[in-house]
Amino acid sequence: MATERYNPRASEPRWQKAWEAAKLFETRNDDPRPKYYVLEMFPYPSGRIHMGHVRNYTMGDVVARWRRAMGHNVLHPMGWDAFGLPAENAARDNKVNPRDWTYKNIETMKGQLKTMGLSLDWAREIATCDASYYKHQQKMFLDFWKSGLVERKSAKVNWDPVDMTVLANEQVIDGRGWRSGAPVEQRDLTQWFFKITSMSQDLLDSLNSLERWPDKVKLMQANWIGRSEGLLIRWKLDEGTAPAGESELEVYTTRPDTIFGASFMAIAADHPLARKVAEGNPELAAFAEDIRHRGTSAAELETAEKRGFDTGIRVVHPFDPEWTLPVYVANFVLMDYGTGAIFGCPAHDQRDLDFANKYGLPVRPVVLPDGGDREGFQVTDLAFTDDGAMINSRFLDGMRFREAFDAVADRLEAVSVGNRPQAERKVQFRLRDWLISRQRYWGCPIPVIHCDDCGAVPVPDSALPVELPTDVSFDKPGNPLDHHPTWKHADCPKCGKPARRDTDTMDTFVDSSWYFARFTDPWNTQAPTTLEYVDGRKGWLPVNQYIGGIEHAILHLLYSRFFARAMKETGHLNEVKEPFEGLFTQGMVVHETYKGPNGWVTPAEVKVEDFDGSRKAFLLAGGAPVEIGPIEKMSKSKKNVVDPDDIIGSYGADTARWFMLSDSPPERDVIWTEAGVEGAHRFVQRVWRLVSEAEPAVAGVTPAVGEAGAAAELSRGAHKVLKAVGEDIGRLHFNKAVARIYELTNLLSPQVAEIVAGRRDGGLDAAVRQGLEFLVAMIAPMMPHLAEECWVALGGEGLVAERPWPAFDPALTVDNEFTYPVQINGKKRGDLTIARDADQATVEKAVLELDVVQKALDGKPPRKVIVVPQRIVNVVA
């Protein structure tokens, strides 16, 4: 029988309309079934979706559809991370309004997402640039401020000279702005901060409770928070060398055990002592000015050449009044960590060693590697930073790290210098407060009015939202809100005098730090979110499964964790402090790169051919040879991008979805290849053919487990696959689930041929029907359109998208059989598969019936049959 090919172009839009008409994915907050909240990181509306989106949203959709089939009330929303610099750049370059540009992109991308057949609740769509969204953000800002979680302070900030804005520490990568790539400068500005450091300890401790987060993400966050236990030690300045009015230098160290290996002190260029000396020392002033202008990111300091300036000041060693050490101003000491001053121990710290070697300072080892030679141990170019036993350290000799740390701390804590102990234990965090002020237009306005008399005054609730003006000009560099002729003029809410609005907007990471909460009740005009769900039952949060890119491991996820806590503190959330119960970070979509005679070319412009096993590429137009480059992340710069529209247009969304899921484990990169997509499409057609061919033979047949022979075997296989696929999807092992589904079609194919040929033994038609229904249910989360089409072909009722996940029979999924190797006179001659619990007599009887055995015995009775249960059978002829 000839079946027509499946035509996704006709089928897919039809099913999308059917789901929409039935409002299947519009989730009700008062639905009594158990909730399941699955969320993918929402996109920035850059203009078009890319393959990374396709992969991300396909995974989320499989989870959403499967959870729905499992009986959950599923929340699966979508929105737009819609503020940000590209809109302003487009405005400047193309003379379009950032708002128009953004909303147009949203429309385009929404249309694209719809062609993917995602089961999204579009009724909850939000865009962070809507005043109805940022109104609540402004309210939260003010509430956080009231609760002491917001602070306005002057700080040394990272200034991006190209984007002309301040950046958070997290947005400075290797000393450069994360967007512009320009070297960041240091400036003193008064800015708004979220006090994320007030939660450092909790943000760190609670990582332990996140059982369904990848370890690597937790580790990255822990390192970013950077807790260390150390000691503050005050060193006396040597009187003859100290500047007037100065008597001590306080340092922070995590290695007080190495105090007898100290050979110099180093302070930051902005340390008060450095500033004081610089006042009378133009050479030092110039040196300090120079290092101030260079980047001060930790990574940069790590690699930059160490530079220092001897101040001439000396300090006295806390354990030896005769021992003095020089104080340098050095470029590798940060002012905003610890006390901005350190003691350098070259033998056990690489930076200190580089510095000491450059300036000819002593290098004295005080920690001996285990098994090392006490007399001969020396450090020259490589610092020894591991654990060992103390040497050359007077009363510490022989101790290990912990003991030596405590011995130094105990002794110095007991000494008092000017009413205070000379040392004090201190826990220190690397995490800094979150600077949120941005000198940009396209962001959420900071709802504050500055009055000469009253200072910074909150905008009253009744005047929220503070909306962005729409008539802005991008002709001048800098912040358009600041240039606007009227917008910033406002009366002081407190005293009524003319005052100025804050013209800064919030970092767009603020917008994405709470959107997951907004989705739970986007219609609420009074509060940003409410957790009250139904009759005081627990609400939607936390998100049960969050899926997105590893690139957000630190910034977005840490900020969201801060926000959930701050919202809870200010009454905007009830119970939850961890916003994401499960986190999955998917791999990237990568593709070969191609270089033509005039530079990079896109895969669409290239044809690749196989010549005796070696692949060669040519331009489609003109046939010029093309060099095949390495496989890399799809990116515009290398032009190795495949447009989802093209793929969906030619193969359909189901093919794209199937390929994304099938090819590699979801946490790894997936290599997009034409051959792979074609393979996926062949499978789509194969499923369709299987169902179409079987249909006449299974029409009207009631699905059932096969009773005997091939029918029973098929049912066992089908139930096993059903069980495994459910487990695989539950664990997000999509590629494994796909492999199982292939297995099932392989089991079904020959049996479909049998029933088409008219066989029905052991209820084969009913077993095939059941297998096909399982197949349809199992492909439904992944290829939802094809599943609906197959369901119709089988004469099924209703929409697959609404049907429950089928139940497997556990008895059919356990392996009840055992295969015995059968030996004749000690040589293996065959196998016997038989029920695992068959008794000895049954096994013996079955063995003697085997052809090979009968042939060997040649009509005579065996001398002996030895059955080793669950092991082997030996026939002695």
Pick the binder of Zn ion from 18, 131, 454, 704 (CB under 5 A). Answer: 454
Q: Which is nearer to ligand ANZ, 99 or 400 (CB)?
A: 400
> Contact between 408 and ligand ANZ (CB under 6 A)?
no
Q: Which is nearer to Zn ion, 453 or 839 (CB)?
A: 453
Question: Which residues touch 112 (CB under 8 Å, ≥6 apart)?
Answer: 48, 49, 644, 645
Q: Which segment (263-271, 315-323, 325-333, 491-499) binds Zn ion by CB under 5 A?
A: 491-499
* Least separation in angstroms between CB 345 and ligand ANZ: 4
What is the C-alpha to C-alpha distance for residues 792 and 803, in angstroms, rounded to an integer? 13
Site size for ligand ANZ (CB under 6 A): 18
> Contact between 726 and ligand ANZ (CB under 6 A)?
no
- Hey, what amino acid is at 836? R
* Least separation in angstroms between CB 430 and ligand ANZ: 6
Q: Which is nearer to Zn ion, 107 or 453 (CB)?
A: 453
> Contact between 91 and ligand ANZ (CB under 6 A)?
no
Pick the binder of Zn ion from 453, 471, 817, 839 (CB under 5 A). Answer: 453
DSSP state of 851: H
Instruction: For residue 512, give the 3-state DSSP assignment.
Output: coil
> Contact between 495 and Zn ion (CB under 5 A)?
yes
* Least separation in angstroms between CB 457 and Zn ion: 6
Site for ligand ANZ in 278-337 (CB under 6 A): 332-334, 337
C-alpha distances in angstroms, 34 versus 211, 249, 534, 853? 21, 61, 12, 59
- Strands 670-671 and 455-458 come out as unpaired
* Least separation in angstroms between CB 396 and ligand ANZ: 13
Q: Which does 221 bind (CB under 5 to 8 A by kind): Zn ion, ligand ANZ, none?
A: none
* Least separation in angstroms between CB 401 and ligand ANZ: 10
In 349-506, which residue ranges form alpha helices assigned H by DSSP?
A: 350-359, 401-414, 480-483
Q: Which segment (283-291, 328-336, 472-480, 489-497) binds Zn ion by CB under 5 A?
A: 489-497
Q: Considering only CA atoms, which of 94, 88, 107 is closest in space to residue 45?
A: 107
CB 368 within 8 A of CB 404: no
* Least separation in angstroms between CB 79 and ligand ANZ: 38
Could you give phi then psi for residue 773, rounded to 5 degrees? -65, -40
Buried b (16+ CB within 10 A) or exposed e, 492-519: bbeeeeebebbbbbbbbbbbbbbbbbbb
Instruction: For residue 723, give the 3-state DSSP assignment.
Output: helix
* Least separation in angstroms between CB 447 and Zn ion: 16
CB 667 within 8 A of CB 585: yes
* Least separation in angstroms between CB 235 and ligand ANZ: 12
Site for ligand ANZ in 326-385 (CB under 6 A): 332-334, 337-338, 340, 342-343, 345, 348-349
> Contact between 270 and ligand ANZ (CB under 6 A)?
no
3-state helix, strand, coil in the chain (%, to 5): 40, 25, 40
Pick the binder of Zn ion from 99, 317, 483, 494 (CB under 5 A). Answer: 494
Q: Which does 228 bind (CB under 5 to 8 A by kind): Zn ion, ligand ANZ, none?
A: ligand ANZ
Q: Which segment (210-218, 492-500, 558-566, 741-749) binds Zn ion by CB under 5 A?
A: 492-500
What is the C-alpha to C-alpha distance for residues 167 and 176, in angstroms, rounded to an integer? 10
CB 264 within 8 A of CB 339: no
List the beta bridge partners of residue 834. Answer: 818
What is the C-alpha to C-alpha distance for residues 145 and 141, in angstroms, rounded to an integer? 6
Site for ligand ANZ in 216-235 (CB under 6 A): 228
Q: Which does 600 bind (CB under 5 to 8 A by kind): Zn ion, ligand ANZ, none?
A: none
What is the C-alpha to C-alpha distance for residues 486 and 498, in angstroms, rounded to an integer? 12
Largest CA distance in the chain: 118
Pick the binder of ligand ANZ from 197, 254, 574, 735 (CB under 6 A). Answer: 254
Token code pair at residue 597: 């005679």
Per this entry, what is the length of the chain? Answer: 877
What is the C-alpha to C-alpha distance for residues 401 and 398, in angstroms, rounded to an integer? 10
Q: Which does 820 bind (CB under 5 to 8 A by kind): Zn ion, ligand ANZ, none?
A: none
Sheet of 73-75: strands edge to edge?
73-75, 35-40, 545-549, 583-586
Q: Which is nearer to ligand ANZ, 348 or 364 (CB)?
A: 348
Q: Which segment (234-242, 248-256, 480-488, 816-824) binds ligand ANZ by CB under 6 A?
A: 248-256
* Least separation in angstroms between CB 458 and Zn ion: 12
> Contact between 264 and ligand ANZ (CB under 6 A)?
no
Site for ligand ANZ in 788-827 (CB under 6 A): none
* Least separation in angstroms between CB 491 and Zn ion: 8
Q: Which does 666 bind (CB under 5 to 8 A by kind): Zn ion, ligand ANZ, none?
A: none
Binding-site ranges for Zn ion (CB under 5 A):
451, 453-454, 492, 494-495
Binding-site ranges for ligand ANZ (CB under 6 A):
228, 252-255, 258, 332-334, 337-338, 340, 342-343, 345, 348-349, 428
